[in-house]
A and B are shown apart, each in its own frame.
Chain A
């Protein structure tokens, strides 16, 4: 089935509006200020309120739950723009991951109660999945034991986006099975203030907001289960794929911006009496990056289009998600390294913005699975 790989007019308008907003309200300067002031929230509440007003939180949510049904294609172009300015916001944690999880896995009353609050921005949520320094969504050691109609959770979660500001955690825990099986994996809605939940903010290299979550005998009512107990994995995997594709869109924006700054520098810096951009040793490396970025654009636009195409199967989407996340991770690695090298000494200074991109690159590369994780998954999906 042929996917539409060109943005619609509506999507183009949305992209232009998002680009204007980010340049005006959430430039890289904002990230720098938040970092330097060790801001307790880690993002700008006023900017977030405006993003809610612009409708970004409800893009892929059904109208019945307060959303706008503009599709993942819409959310994708927004994320690409926030990626350009390395915007700090709860969009990935609360909208792309948590709202998607509730929308895909939740029952009617959970969706009716939670989704409108996530769209209005009054509730912030996140997904607590990883337990080790590596993304291994099938290997869940956190336990949830059913006892007298209540679940008791014990375990440790790490690399949880926006954990320190989240009101609600979606905690992935095991209700049965050993810790490498997918049956037995369950999802729980956990109020961040529940007794036994300890959240520690972790200061990451890219100033992206993350945290660790400790769960000590956290007692939950039976209706806290999101989806079917023990059967969460297939839908969770689909949620993760949406997250990977959305994250890939954000990475694309960051890659394009880092590359743009680099080419501008080549066209401006003089050595030996000429612009350094006239050196073939740099030109060819820039042209190779350009080509790789063109492939990234296609991978992202195809994966986003697949999410909005009801004819695409979960397996087809999984392959496009792993393709996009693997490819974008590799190219973000390449472009962020070359960006520093081509900027020379000035690229090593904190004063210059280009360093923010290599920091964001490494964090984004690992989040939701790095390139080797996704190549392994892609090969398995292709039957080898």
Chain B
């Protein structure tokens, strides 16, 4: 028997033994485990599941064992993923530490920084948030102006961030700051980490069109941060920032995968497929009675399936050393458009039952469709707008001339 087959058998046996029964049911939003100092576990099984997975490093399967990760090869990690899917296991831990910060720390951090920050990410002990966008710096992220001044062995940080996801619930922030105002905008940025409990940090949730407040405004008023918390070289933070964005885009693109949706607690039983919902709400048993909607759903399902195959192909190609890089922009663009299409089709599929806001007359899962439909509109804005992704594809992949950079050169 091959070593991979042995790994599969052992993994399957371990999961059978250790994944609690309630962790093999579809995720519900209130039970998503984000970890952190103030983590709460609505379902006690979530805590057990996290601890067991973290113990083996399987919350971060391919990260080095030296820092608490699983140390698995790519092939083994794919098998673990397949075995988790086989039993419909919920993600033990969802965190920006795993999907965004960890990979760049492993690439750019010193040994001391990795040893300090990585293990608590694997175990879900520290919850991270992302300090990127600012009120005046959205798509033009590199124009950011939050200032970090070196005073002795500390930086003093002043400024503000916006759209900081879950800043009010996070323990630490990875933050882009300007350390040099005298050089071209991309060359004066640094990447720094600090505790959200530091004096001078405050947050204010932003109420969204969906009624939820996942994003915050975040303010820094003379925040004192040890200089050793800076990752990589001073003024070279843009390299790390861009790399992290690629990881973020890959994460967001998974919203376009039907499986990715359930990870976020978005889709429940009767809404699991668009065609299922469309048939159920019309009382259709065989063929969907609305031929136009049927064609649109078929087109959506075909695109979703082709997209899922493209994500798989991208993983297989990176394993073969052909690398993802700008592919993340294509996946991000397409995955987000698909997720928006899914919710528009769900609205058509269940008619006016998709348009309730709260209270009587609507099932919870119907109200969730309304809210998630509104939430999905952010998909093509967060992590870089769809227009920014298309710019990146045009420039990096297709090699088309960059008029923006020509314009900027003329201006400066």
- A contact residues vs B (CB 8 Å cutoff): 2-6, 263, 266-267, 274-275, 277-280, 282-284, 286-288, 290-291, 294-299, 301-302, 322-323, 326-327, 330, 372, 375-376, 378-380, 382-384
Contacts and interface: CB of A to CB of B under 8 A. Distances in A.
A2 B395 CA distance: 33
B400 A283 contact: yes
Contacts of A275: 400-401
B206 to A, nearest CB: 29
Given A327-B306, A379-B288, A382-B298, 6 more contacts: A263-B398, A278-B406, A283-B391, A298-B313, A326-B298, A384-B288
Chain A interface, >50% SS class: helix
B380 to A, nearest CB: 13
Contact of B320 (A6, A266, A288, A323): A6
Nearest to B307: A295
A298 B309 contact: yes
A278 B407 CA distance: 11
Given A278-B400, A379-B275, A294 B310 contact: yes
B393 A278 contact: no
Given A2-B82, A283-B394, A384 B294 contact: yes
Contact of A290 (B284, B288, B303, B398): B398
Interface string B289-325: 0000011011101110111011011001100101000
A142 to B, nearest CB: 28
Interface core residue of B306, B309, B397 (most chain A CB under 10 Å): B306
A272 to B, nearest CB: 11
Given A267-B401, A278-B401, A280-B403, A6 B287 contact: no
A-B interface, 6 closest residue pairs, ranked by CB to CB distance from nearest = A283-B394, A287-B393, A298-B309, A375-B298, A5-B313, A278-B403
A326 B300 CA distance: 11
Given A4-B316, A6-B317, A266-B400, A382 B394 contact: no
Interface string B248-276: 00000000000000000000000000011
A299 B387 CA distance: 25
19 contacts: A3-B309, A3-B312, A5-B316, A274-B401, A275-B400, A280-B391, A286-B394, A287-B390, A290-B398, A291-B393, A295-B307, A295-B310, A296-B306, A326-B299, A326-B302, A375-B302, A376-B294, A379-B287, A382-B298
A286 to B, nearest CB: 6
Nearest to A6: B316
A127 B184 CA distance: 65
B279 interface: yes
Contacts of B275: 379, 382-384
A291 B256 CA distance: 14
A284 B333 CA distance: 11
Interface string B163-177: 000000000000000
B152 interface: no
Given A266-B400, A327-B303, A384-B287, A301 B278 contact: no
Nearest to A262: B398
A338 to B, nearest CB: 13
B400 A267 contact: yes
A286 B401 CA distance: 13
B279 A384 contact: yes
B384 to A, nearest CB: 13
A5 B312 contact: yes
Contacts of A327: 302-303, 306
A5 B288 contact: no
B309 A378 contact: no
B401 A291 contact: no
Nearest to B400: A277
Contact of A298 (B78, B306, B394, B398): B306
Contacts of B343: none
Contacts of B359: none
A284 B297 CA distance: 25
Contacts of B333: 287, 291
B334 interface: yes
